Amino acid sequence: MEHLFSDRVQQVKASEIREILKLTQMPDIISFAGGLPAPELFPIEALKNVASVVLDEMGKEALQYSTTEGYDPLRSKIAARMIRAGVKATKDDILITSGSQQGLDFSGKIFINPGDYVLCESPSYLGAINAFKAYQSAFKEVKTDHEGMDLADLETVIQDTPNAKFIYVIPDFQNPSGRTWSLERRKGIVEIANRYNLVIIEDNPYGELRFEGETIASIKSFDTEGRVIYLGTFSKTFSPGIRIGFVLAAPTLLNKYILVKQGADLQSSTLSQRELNQYLEMYDFDAHISKIREVYKKRRDLMMETIREAFPASAKCEVPQGGLFAWVELPKHIDTKALLIKAVENKVAFVPGGSFFPNGGQENYMRLNFSNMPEEKIVEGIQRLGKIIKESL
């Protein structure tokens, strides 16, 4: 039946994330591979209370079909949080999605014709790359440094790419690089998008997990022409298992997302939306996020410290100011895919960096997650990795 498959699905290959999630399920492995939050911080008791209240007070509504856009009180609360973060928003700018991954998929569906280009940071998020590839996109990687995209390079790339559709960026504690964009670059990319009439997709799953320094205004907050689409999620601050994210965009653009969601899965879970809304009413979400930040900061500090001690001097790693990931550059001749095989033999896992470069050719990076492992395992795992890297030099 091969001949019946669509052209687009021929391009969809098993991603390493998936194989890696399988690895992380082995009980005795120290995994820096997935992007998993720390499960010991999940608000389990709160969710139990919230589930009772929702089922007692509005069980019939919570288990029924609802509108595609999402539960209005939750949409309003998200809008209020975005206003606090400097983005003008009302509930009508918000569509509830099943995680922000769904926002990425919809972005591909809405903008990409086969052969169209996505402009992205180099490196960029593997899950986004795969979502866009399913719509037969091509990619141009824009040079990126510790302040974000190199905007001069971005302009050159745009001038060179007539069928560019959107610029996809993760400006806060980027996945995989851990880097954060400067304020100037954020303002600058909006000016460029305005000038060349392009859309920006600002993916911000980690922004609330800042360990130090001042919060930097989102790219969306500088959007005067309604051309920035902002993707948010509760996966890293509440629970990834309930699959609640959102798209924030100007109504004309958002309307496309709503229509596409209707065909894709009608709506996100009514029950999960009402439970999350009830949680936000009954509990102090900001205090909960502070607790997460505190724990992850310790883990980040410990990972950085152990990397400095255990990795060879030729391994480079910037200190991420937040988020979930550290990104290590090794000498050019080291292939981290081969390194992973040795690592797994030694019961430690990470993600080889190659698949974060959509056009390939850069195999000497590794992504290390520091949110999911307890402190003693971070030390032990990084020491093991250090030994393996030194042996490969």
Closest to its own copies by CB, 54 vs 326, is: 54
Closest to its own copies by CB, 225 vs 376, is: 225
As measured in angstroms, the least distance from the Cβ of 253 to its own copies is: 7
As measured in angstroms, the least distance from the Cβ of 238 to its own copies is: 8
> Which strands make up the sheet holding 164-169, listed edge to edge?
94-97, 245-248, 228-233, 199-203, 164-169, 117-121, 138-142
Closest to its own copies by CB, 36 vs 304, is: 36
As measured in angstroms, the least distance from the Cβ of 307 to its own copies is: 25
Closest to its own copies by CB, 48 vs 333, is: 48
Closest to its own copies by CB, 260 vs 343, is: 260
As measured in angstroms, the least distance from the Cβ of 27 to its own copies is: 13
Phi, psi of 282 (to 5 degrees): -95, -20
For tokens 């290390």, the residue is 368
As measured in angstroms, the least distance from the Cβ of 166 to its own copies is: 7
Closest to its own copies by CB, 197 vs 224, is: 197
As measured in angstroms, the least distance from the Cβ of 373 to its own copies is: 14
Closest to its own copies by CB, 166 vs 285, is: 166
Closest to its own copies by CB, 13 vs 333, is: 13
As measured in angstroms, the least distance from the Cβ of 269 to its own copies is: 5
Closest to its own copies by CB, 80 vs 110, is: 110
As measured in angstroms, the least distance from the Cβ of 43 to its own copies is: 8
Closest to its own copies by CB, 4 vs 287, is: 4
As measured in angstroms, the least distance from the Cβ of 183 to its own copies is: 25
As measured in angstroms, the least distance from the Cβ of 391 to its own copies is: 32
Q: From CA 7, how far away is CA 356, in angstroms rounded?
A: 23
Sign of the Cα pseudo-torsion (374, 376, 378, 381, in order): negative
Q: From CA 393, how far away is CA 389, in angstroms rounded?
A: 7
Residues 6+ apart with CB under 8 A from 323: 172, 173, 174, 175, 178, 206, 209
**Which residues are bridge partners to 325 per DSSP?**
369
**Burial classification of residue 65, based on how many CB atoms lie within 10 Å of its CB (0-12 exposed, 13-18 middle, 19 or more buried):** exposed
